[in-house]
Amino acid sequence: MVKREGEVLKVIHVKRFSLETNLGSVLGYLKILIAKLSSIEKIFIDQTGMGEMVVEEARNLGLASVEGITFTMKSKEEMASLLKNVMEKKKLLIPYNPDFLNELNVEQFEITKDGHFKFSHPQGTHDDLFWALALAVYASVQTPLPGKGAAMLPH
């Protein structure tokens, strides 16, 4: 979860669910978190593949500010570039969390023949937190009201 404070984005909440966690528990957690914070402007969810069902279920729970984002090579490139830009400008504050920071550091990319970036991570590692952060930063930039936050769920 990212909160915008002027020109600075601040990671205010990181939660990783185990792969076995059912969707109802994840969405219930998100609904409670949003109710507690009451300042969430947008919730961006990766709707790629099974994610479309997640977006629909979130809306059914009354999370009206949900927006589904399809992860494509182009959208990933845009989100990762925005994340890189914000980090280079020192406009992103990230709490010390070794697992989170390790995941940010293992993401890899290669340039394809047509000049696009293809992202990957080494076998045995994960990139869900990387893409969750990229999606949250993207959501925060897309949110027109200053000081509001954005939540995200990765693929």
Domain of 100?
2-153
Number of domains in the chain: 1
The span from the CA of 143 to the CA of 59, in Å, is 18
What is d(CA 22, CA 58) in angstroms, rounded to the nearest whole number?
13
Record the pTM: 0.83
Q: How confident is the prediction along the chain (155 residues), in pLDDT tens digits per residue?
A: 998 888 899 999 898 898 889 999 999 998 898 888 877 888 899 999 888 999 999 999 988 789 999 999 999 999 999 999 999 999 999 999 898 898 888 888 888 898 888 888 889 888 889 999 999 999 888 755 444 445 444 44
* Domain of residue 62, CATH code: 3.30.420.240
Q: Yes or no: say if 105 and 98 are a contact pair by the CB < 8 Å rule.
A: no
Q: How far apart are CA 114 and CA 100, in angstroms?
A: 31
The answer to whether 79 and 134 are in contact (CB under 8 A) is yes
